Structure 1
Amino acid sequence: MTKIYGTVSAGFEEVRTEFAAAAAAEAGLGAQLAVYLYGRQVVDLWTGDGVTGDSLHALYSSAKGAAHLVAALLVQDGVLKLDATVASYWPEFAAEGKGDLTLRDLLAHRAGLIGVEGGFSTAELADDRLLAARLAGRRPHWRPGAGYGYHAFVIGALVGEVIRRATGRTLQQVYEERVRAPYGLDFYLGLPEALEPRYVAVQPLLPHERAMAEANAPAPDSLTGIAFNLNATPPTDLTDFANTRAVRALGPASSGSVGNARGLAGMYAAAISEIDGRPPLLDPGTLAEFTRPHSTGPDLVTGERDHFLLGFEAQAVRYPDLGADAFGHSGAVGAQSFADPRSGIAYAYTRRRFSFGGGGGAPENRRLVPAVLRAAADARP
């Protein structure tokens, strides 16, 4: 029998039941689930050999949620202007017809700058400064602003370079100072070496899953292949990538986050809720701006329809019971995290082993999220 550890508040027992069912359905699943309701933690669960509530996992593109939260804070402060051109902050970016692209369009994945011919090395993918330097002079893969597509490995570096030019601080430094450290969050863009003993290595797909994934892999020279660095030699292996210390140490803001469900949910809770006397990080105007749709139709890279709000992934597309302004980001291993202002929920689910067929968040989230919302509806003040 699969053991489930941790606690749930009264009224959230169904969430524990669904979490146990997910663990029972997948042998060897190592996972965590944390949920906040109006700034108060109501779910704290974990399962799996070698996994505790404190374990730190590779959370891949969950980093993008932190990156876009930092961008939103700097827009809120007036340091960044959404309708200013990227080149007004970063002149080199204007090359190859990109001079008119605005920060708003960049955040909305409309730059067309998803990758480069021949792909990136692991050293480049790990270091946002190297990525930004290589991308600045590149020709986009579609006319900037004319369509949108997931900038999988590079959006954090592009937005981060704008932030560095505007503030003199890296995105990672601003995140640490404004978000992670003040709230004591176990969610990192740059994992300190002292915390390495708490890192639980990613487990890859099972052999039959890997064979199926390889059989259905996109062509390396397709937009999808380029965006996911499958045109590199060798193509990027996500398991090896996350299990590389240099990646965890540098914390690239597209792909290199490390943390646990408590820390990730705590970040989204801080974005929308009062916590320990601190007001929400995002004021109503900023929240409204960053949680309205900025692109419609299919994503040119993933094919997902109506994929993004402003930077953040639109969550109601995947989980229809959420409010239209629910915002967050998934992570390649099957992680899912978001804030839902309508219900007051902040949610984070992490996994140790890759989910096969998750489509931006492991399939079990489609049962866990409704269970959380049902419990939250009964628990509203």
Structure 2
Amino acid sequence: MISPAGFGALLSEFAENFESRGELGASVSVWIEGEEIISEAGGWFEAERRRPWTTRTLVPVYSATKAPAAATLLLALDQHGLGPDTPVGEVWPGFPLPTATFAELLSHQCGLAALDQRASLWKHEEIVAAIEAQTPAWVPGEGHGYHPRTFGALMDEPVRRLTGGPLAWFWTSRVARPLDLDFWIGLPHSQHRRVATLYPGKASPADFKEGFYQAFQDQGSLTHRAFASPKDVRSVREMNDPKAWSAGFPAMGGIGTASALAKFYQIISGRIPGPFSESIRAALATRIVDGDDLVLLKPTAFSCGCQLDPLDDIGRKHRHLYGPATKAFGHPGAGGSHAFADPENGLSFAYVMNQMELSVMPGHRATSLIDALYGS
């Protein structure tokens, strides 16, 4: 159970992030049983410290977008009488593994993390053509590996075929707008003034001793290729371009507040009414794969579009990015943004910031908040 002491400890750690951990601007939100218990913000939009960061400040959250996008695809399937067990080929005939299910696709099992055919992130049709021409690096049953960039088109193309419009449009019209979620996949120009500037994390020599970063520097490795395809929009500077904010990249282009992200996880946990059926909520929450990740080169676990903490052979967590509960699920974003649901405690959490860390997993500024909340 979460105690009031945990709320105070979290706020103390949030303040410490600014005092000693290099935080520039950030927000944190905690909801329990449909109510926002914590909504805290501090710092600045930009390094020049002209505009104060508030709870309404928007910021790009990179791969924390993947969970809302996956929920959108599941909703589109559900509205056509389809679901996670539907073969992808029934919706997308050109998909290179037509008998693979949407559950296998959304849990990163289809081996399409890296593309041999060059395609631009700005050109959806090019990415689809490259995916259809790709020989999978592995198939379901042979393992899983994180799809950092191709995951966007892998979700977007089925939504387009099912609804006649892009995933960004379906998210806004069927989820975000009806539920008053200040989280955008495709930000309108009218909201651009609310977006904070991102700043890249800095590498230390110790970072490059880790297997992931060694592979990331090797241009021939699967890890490097996965993070380089589709090409374009590779630097933080490019994600500060309003063109990227409005593009609606489903794998990495979401922009929002901590409060909106945490509220989204209340909705998909069933604590706030929404359009997601019980079967969709179960698909997002239920662990499908757990083990060594062929791209991230560390243990990972996935449901249909969300991450969970991986477990060892006797069910203990390898790490606690989602708190102590084994059924907690969510998704981080590169540089430190993080959000998740803990159904056992009726809780959801989100943290967003603009001074990034060099990490594809949540860093110390996020985990210190989670540890404090749970009294770890």
With the shorter chain as reference, the TM-score category is 0.7 to 0.9
Contact 1:315 1:328 in 2 (8 A): no
Residue 252 (structure 1) shift: 0.6
Residue number in structure 1 paired with 2:9: 14
Residue 131 of structure 1 aligns to which amino acid in structure 2?
I
Contact 1:272 1:282 in 2 (8 A): no
Residue number in structure 2 paired with 1:101: 100
Residue number in structure 2 paired with 1:177: 173
Say yes or no: does 1:133 pair with 2:129.
yes
Residue 346 (structure 1) shift: 1.2
Residue number in structure 2 paired with 1:224: 223
Q: Deviations over 1:281-330 (max 9, x none)?
A: 44444333332221121010002314212221114754264432222111
Contact 2:262 2:349 in 1 (8 A): yes
Taking a change above 3 Å as real, the CA distance of residues 52 and 125 of structure 1, as seen in their structure-2 partners, is same
Say yes or no: does 1:31 pair with 2:26.
yes
Tell me the secondary structure at the aligned position of residue 326 of structure 2. coil
TM-score, normalised to structure 1's length?
A: 0.84
Q: Mind listing any 5+ residue stretches in structure 2 that lack a counterpart?
A: 46-52, 311-316
Q: Mind listing any 5+ residue stretches in structure 1 that lack a counterpart?
A: 1-8, 376-381
Residue number in structure 2 paired with 1:202: 198
Residue 366 (structure 1) shift: 2.0
Q: Deviations over 1:220-269 (max 9, x none)?
A: 2211101100796xx85330231222221111100111112112112112
Say yes or no: does 1:337 pair with 2:339.
yes
Tell me the secondary structure at the aligned position of residue 183 of structure 1. coil
Residue 60 (structure 1) shift: 0.6
Say yes or no: does 1:47 pair with 2:49.
no
What fraction of aligned residue pairs are identical, expressed as a percent? 29
Q: CA RMSD in A?
A: 2.7
Residue number in structure 2 paired with 1:6: none
2-structure distance, mates of 1:372, 1:177: 34
Residue 201 of structure 2 aligns to which amino acid in structure 1?
L
Residue number in structure 1 paired with 2:113: 114
Residue number in structure 1 paired with 2:74: 72
Residue number in structure 2 paired with 1:5: none
- Length, aligned pairs only: 354
Residue 166 (structure 1) shift: 2.1
Residue from 347, 351, 359 that aligns with 1:349:
351
Say yes or no: does 1:307 pair with 2:308.
no
Taking a change above 3 Å as real, the CA distance of residues 161 and 11 of structure 1, as seen in their structure-2 partners, is same
Residue 280 (structure 1) shift: 4.8
Residue from 267, 270, 284 that aligns with 1:270:
267
2-structure distance, mates of 1:343, 1:178: 27
Contact 1:127 1:252 in 2 (8 A): no
Say yes or no: does 1:362 pair with 2:363.
yes
2-structure distance, mates of 1:108, 1:175: 20
Tell me the secondary structure at the aligned position of residue 338 of structure 1. strand
Residue 212 (structure 1) shift: 5.7
TM-score, normalised to structure 2's length?
A: 0.85
Residue from 291, 294, 300 that aligns with 1:297:
291
Taking a change above 3 Å as real, the CA distance of residues 343 and 128 of structure 1, as seen in their structure-2 partners, is farther
